[in-house]
Amino acid sequence: MMCSKTVRSVPGSLLLAVIVLGLLSGCGRRSEPEFTADPLTQTLLPEAQAAVREQMDQNFGTVQQLQVPLEAPINWGGINGTIEQVSVAEGEEPHWGVTISGAVERLSGEKLRVVSSSDHVPGFPPVLTVQSHSGRDGIVKFEEELPADATEPIRFVAQPVHRLLTGQALYMQHCSACHGVSGAGDGPQSQILNPKPRDFRYGLLKYTSTSIGHKASTDDLRKTLKQGIAGTGMPAFKALANQEIDQIVDYAKYLAIRGEVERAVATDAAIDFSKSAAEGQDRQELAADLEDYADEDLPGIFQDEIARISDQWQQADLESSIVQPALTLPEPLEPSRTDESLTSLANGRRIYLSKAGQCASCHGETGRGDGTQTQQIHKRPDGSPYEKPGLHDAWGHLVKPRDLTYGVFHGGRDPVEIYRRVFAGVKGTPMPAYGMSGLSEPEIWDLVNYLLYLAGDYPDVNESDLESPPASN
């Protein structure tokens, strides 16, 4: 009571002054968001970390100033083109012509970022400021002095990220609380979520329509945003317009490619320049080797990894990468296409319980996610054991096999979606790809029927029907 009386006795203007002074002194201020280094990068020597970070900034920019490699299959909404010397009369100053891909008439005042670092001459400015540009003949003048021996076309980008910036803003508003600024799945909400939000930096998405070894397609990402993931903290963003969904998809791809490239480069650098590898080495000799590596090798490694990973994401959108079964789901009690003495449902149960299928070892004999694998201690990729029994995903998180009787499938319960989970597995998890382990398409469809039965889709089918032969025509 004494405390409440004291507060009431303080004039309102004084309370307001205290609040204002608190705000002016820095209370409530937020630091600028930054991309955090991957844990693998953090295992490197400080000088190696700095070299990787410098290349990351050059190729991908910062949170405040994004940059996109041209190879990345991302619609970042920018302008790109080439500049090259134009033939002039002997004795005249060289002129430069520009060829532009994008809806723009004039480049005057624009900053052009040079991206063809592998084929332009040494000393070429990394950024060019357009002094004047003639849309009629394409002649362009720059504030910077360009070397006269640059005879090959030079690639550039201008206004490179205005569409991606919109995607970034939407991501920060709707996604970063769970997935984090860097896409590492470490946002403030991640601590209370199970399963954990996806870490995009691995380039893995669990529920995809693509085949084994392929990235998620653009449509997979769109679907995840529009429909959410049932049974998880991933909501359905049905109120967002299609254009907004596509912009978030492009920014998520940007974070994924950025993270994958950093992990690949850090893995290479760690061979010689991790803190553990440096133990016992001559520091002066190691510093010289690191300087050579940073100057001569690292830029090329970045370009190679950007090209490789960008190509993987591009391949995911090819029709040939999508799992498209030729057959459709049979009726549960019609004869199996692989064994006419059994119904499709009975054959599906046989496969589920068999050693070849091994579904019950994780999901349990009754489908409740309590198989024997959930009680065993498993090993990490490096061979060391996990502390807790059970299955783990590629991110090191403990994962519980789906309780199929619950009737919720994270990747969707449409039969073709379940078929794809069985055929290609659930990427980044212990769920294997049965399309690689010998199950035929008709067998997978029978198994899908049994999974739907466990999920309650066939309430009129009883246990005795599973033992009965197919009805004769």
CA distance 36 to 266: 14
pLDDT of residue 192: 93
Residue 386 has pLDDT above 80, yes or no: yes
Residue that finishes a domain, picked among 290, 321, 352: 321
Asked if residue 15 belongs to a domain, the reply is no
Query: Do 358 and 287 fall into the same domain?
Result: no
Judge if 419 and 290 occupy the same domain.
no
Q: Do 181 and 271 share a domain, yes or no?
A: yes
Residue 202, both tokens:
């691995």
Residue 75 pLDDT class (50, 70, 90 cuts): confident
pLDDT value for 444 = 97
Tokens at 216, concatenated: 């998620």
275 in a structural domain: yes
Q: What is the mean pLDDT of residues 142-165?
A: 78
**Domain shared by 253 and 296, yes or no:** yes
Q: What percent of the chain has pLDDT over 70?
A: 88
**pLDDT by residue (tens digit) across 202-254?**
999 999 999 999 999 999 999 999 999 988 999 999 999 999 999 999 999 99
Q: Tell me the residue range of the domain where 407 lies.
A: 344-467
Residue 330 scores a pLDDT above 70: yes
Say which residue, 3 or 106, is predicted with more confidence. Answer: 106
The letter for the amino acid at 287 is A
| Same domain for 438 and 372 | yes
Q: φ, ψ for residue 111 (rounded to 5)?
A: -100, 125
Q: What is the pLDDT of residues 95-140, one digit of tens each?
A: 888 887 755 556 777 777 776 644 445 677 777 888 888 777 788 8
* pLDDT value, residue 18: 36
Shared domain check, 226 and 263: yes
* 20 pLDDT higher than 50: no
Bond before 469 cis per omega within 30 degrees: no
In a domain, 244, yes or no: yes
Domain boundary among 306, 321, 336: 321
What pLDDT does 30 receive? 62
Domains in the chain: how many in total?
3
CATH number of the domain encompassing residue 155: 2.40.10
Dihedral angle sign, alpha carbons of residues 44, 47, 51, 54: positive
**Same domain assignment for residues 299 and 223:** yes
Residue 71 lies in a domain: no
What average pLDDT does the structure give for the chain?
87
Range name among 78-92, 168-182, 397-411 with the lowest pLDDT average = 78-92
Query: What mean pLDDT is predicted for residues 58-80?
Result: 85
**CATH for 440:** 1.10.760
